[in-house]
Amino acid sequence: MAVEKGGTRVIAVELESPEDLLRLASLLPVPFVNYSIEERVVFLPFGGIGRTGAVYYARLGEPLNSRFAHVNRLKGSVTFGDAASMEPNVVNVEIIRVRAHNIQFLQSK
């Protein structure tokens, strides 16, 4: 879905699961996701061309207490921890806690 705000077009993409979002974030040069504590949503904004951007997001069933997601890119598995992993083939995705934002996530159907 695309939302127009102040001349900027934002495309909101809800992913099937938080693990999908974390695997996507693991592909970034600096892997991170934002975590809205109040809404229990992890999200990742991407800039686009011109005045278009995208926000990929996924809803969480339970609160997220860890500081890192460990994405094993060979196995496709995701685990969580409070410290970075030193395991080979694991990308550490930092989870940034967001207190306030102006993104309006769509309600689930």
Which residue did the predictor score with more confidence, 83 or 2?
A: 83
C-alpha span between 77 and 70 (Å, rounded):
8
Place of tokens 């967001």: 98
pLDDT of residue 6: 62
Which pTM does this prediction carry?
0.84
- Give me the pLDDT at residue 109, please: 44
Confidence grade of residue 87 (pLDDT, cut at 50, 70, 90): very high
Q: Give the mean pLDDT of 89-104.
A: 89
Separation between Cα atoms, residue 98 and residue 4, nearest integer Å: 23
DSSP code of residue 107: P
Q: What is the pLDDT of residues 52-79, one digit of tens each?
A: 888 999 999 999 999 999 999 899 899 9
Residue 48's pLDDT is what?
72
- For 99, other C-beta atoms within 10 Å of its C-beta total 7
| Alpha carbons 59 and 40: distance in angstroms, whole number | 6
Per residue in 5-61, pLDDT tens? 566 778 889 999 999 999 999 999 999 999 999 889 999 988 777 778 889 999 999
